[in-house]
Amino acid sequence: MKFPINSIKSYFAAVGLFAHILIIFLGYSVYNQVSNQAEALPETLQRIGHTIKKDYPTVAIAGDTLLNASETLTTNNYFWREFDSSNWPTVGPNFSTAYADLPSVSRSIIVDNEQDIIKAINTAQPGMEIVIKNGDYYLEQKRINSSLAYPTANNPVIVRAETAGKVNLELSTLEGLFINRPNWIITGLRFIGNCQPHCEHAMHIVGHADNLQITHNEFVDFNAAIKVNGVNNNYPDFGKVSHNYFYFTEPSESSSSVTPINLDSGNSWVLNNNIIRDFIKLGGNQVSYGAFIKGGSNNGVIENNLIVCNSTSNDYGGYQVGVSLGGGGMKRATRRDKSNFETNLSVVRNNIMMHCNDVGVYINQGKDSIVNNNILYNTSGIDVRFRQSTALVTNNILSGSIRERDKGVAEQFNNTVLRKDFWGGGEKLDGWFKAPSVGDFTPTKALTRTETPYPFLTTSESTGKTPLHDFCGNPVLNGDTFMGAFKEAISCFEP
């Protein structure tokens, strides 16, 4: 390996005493990372270089020099081909079967223009199905309110495309559907944000919107496509966000929260089998998340999702986190029941997360959390942070490390943790799977079986009433012992 002598020479020639003092000041944090190989040397140089450029622009040349040195040393780990969602048949929308399990309705209306779409949603009654004719629609109303009626589980309101995937709803305002009533089902639609810098929400779920189902949709260019929160001490519970596809066509310049699934204070939500990618934030604090649950939530589940923080070869800087219990955190006074935790009894399991320049899983004041059977590729690992955070971390396969920070406690069993190559940052997981850098995790050798069983199946899951499946669709049974996101990978990583 050729050491970047020219870069080092230009660094010392161009940077003055102040810059050296600054770098020494920052060096303590570097030492903590490098000394125990929690991150590779190129990543350390990259992180410090971006920090200097962002916070100390007068000596930005020092940051540029460190970034150049990092690039010279780096063994490239990036998504090197165009992203194609069809390569993962068990996650994302399945438009051919999207409507197979929809409940029957007592009335169906067909709408084919923007005014009728808005009117139908404003006035929908229990047991009604709103069918939007195939085509493109431009919705410029500030928000589209759900009707004031109260649908029931047996008489829901369904909003769907005539043919799943063939309706584009383009929004040019900060938020789209505003749902404050229970038992709505939104399925088969493509929501496209057309705002500068980006639209905020495709759907804003609040208050009384229990038992909401958002399935088999696409969401393009929304900072927080799905936003959930309470209103007047009423909180939407028991929601499901399943088999959707969230992505950005370009990084967000917004200072707002960039988190495609942004769930505050709702209990017993399930986020499963979604694809979430390219949620890169260049404005504000530059921190973004694929999905998080926070705000005093209980019993949340994040499972069987494919999270790709960056599917390009560009280094955008900032901080991209796969998923989080806690996210950026909320003040206690604004959490549900003023709880002293962000989440309680929540689970992150069977997910694949990749190409995140920060951690794949972040537990921030997450009480009694479970993080099990995930695969984390080209991330810095798992963080369990703050004294409220207690987590069982088991049966995961990951690069990077598992860290306890600020008095967080991680009880660790049977994880396979492969640190990156220190000098170049190369992924030691590359030899385990067929092409993990582009998301093909077909094993190239038999994965290690563990004596630690899959943890804590609920009674409903273990009896088959609501069966649990792994990332590849295999049923997970009591007593199963396996590491990573799936038991078997047959037909899991190909169209």
Task: Flag whether 474 is in a domain.
Answer: no
On whether both 99 and 161 belong to a single domain, the answer is yes
Average pLDDT of span 21-30: 51
Residues 276 and 414 reside in one and the same domain: yes
Backbone dihedral region for residue 492 (phi beyond 0: left; psi -120 to 50: alpha; all else: beta) = alpha
In a domain, 476, yes or no: no
The CATH number covering residue 331 comes to 2.160.20.10
For residue 105, tell me if it sits in a domain.
yes
Q: Does 472 fall in a domain?
A: no
The whole domain housing 64 covers: 5-73
Into how many domains does the chain fold?
A: 2
User: What mean pLDDT is predicted for residues 112-122?
Assistant: 98
Q: Is residue 353 part of a domain?
A: yes
Could you tell me if 305 and 400 lie in one domain?
yes
Q: Is 140 exposed, middle or buried (0-12, 13-18, 19+ CB in 10 A)?
A: exposed
Same domain, 167 and 224: yes
Separation of alpha carbons 361 and 396, rounded Å: 11
Q: Both 46 and 145 in a single domain?
A: no
Single out the residue of 189, 89, 84, 216 nearest to residue 131, CA to CA.
189
46 or 358, higher pLDDT: 358
pLDDT over 70 (residue 29): no
pLDDT tens, residue by residue, 197-219 = 889 999 999 999 999 999 999 99
Residue 194 forms part of a structural domain: yes
Domain match, 16 and 119 both: no
Whether residue 143 is found in the same domain as residue 236: yes
Q: Which residues have C-beta within 8 Å of that of residue 233, sequence separation ≥ 6?
A: none
> Is 478 a domain residue?
no
3-state secondary structure of 379: coil
Same domain, yes or no: 115 and 220: yes
pLDDT at res. 42: 72
What string of DSSP letters covers 415-448?
-EEEPPPTTT---GGGGTEEEGGGTEEEESSPPP
Q: What's the length of the chain?
A: 495
Q: With a cut of 70, say whether residue 22 has pLDDT above it.
A: no
Q: Is 140 found in the same domain as 27?
A: no
Are residues 422 and 305 part of one domain? Answer: yes
Q: What is the pLDDT of residue 35?
A: 47
Residues 32 and 106 in one domain: no
Asked whether residue 25 falls in the same domain as residue 62, the answer is: yes
The reply to whether 236 falls in a domain is: yes
pTM over 0.85: yes
Mean pLDDT computed over 413-429: 82
